[in-house]
Amino acid sequence: MRKVCLFWDDILISKFDYEDKKELFDVGKKLLEQGLRSNHSLTYQRFVYRTHLSSVSSRKKDKKPIWNSDHQLALGAMTALVIMRDIEELDDPSCGLFFPPLYKKSLIQKKKLKKFKI
């Protein structure tokens, strides 16, 4: 099981587990298709997805509750923006998707402890 982290405006919005990257991008593809079937233009969809991600990040900044459906829609919005090439699919923790490496937590913690020993 791998993890993906969603960042927007340098804030971690949420983390998800996934089996395959195709599984992640299918969520965004379905969201785009649903919007096109409802006769919404791509520019309008781009505006809505960016607005939703900004509202979720501002709720996170203000330490307000974020519902599970908002997390799932944030994943769909982020992957839809990547599909539309509005956001690059880079491991950019400032704004976008971040795929952390597959390390065990104990190994990461040991490395951090070694750095800070005097």
Give the pLDDT score at 115.
Answer: 52
pLDDT tens-digit map of 20-54: 888 889 999 999 999 999 999 999 999 999 999 99
Return the domain boundaries, the chain: 2-116
For the chain, residues with pLDDT lower than 50 are 107-108, 111, 113, 116-117
CA distance 83 to 35: 14
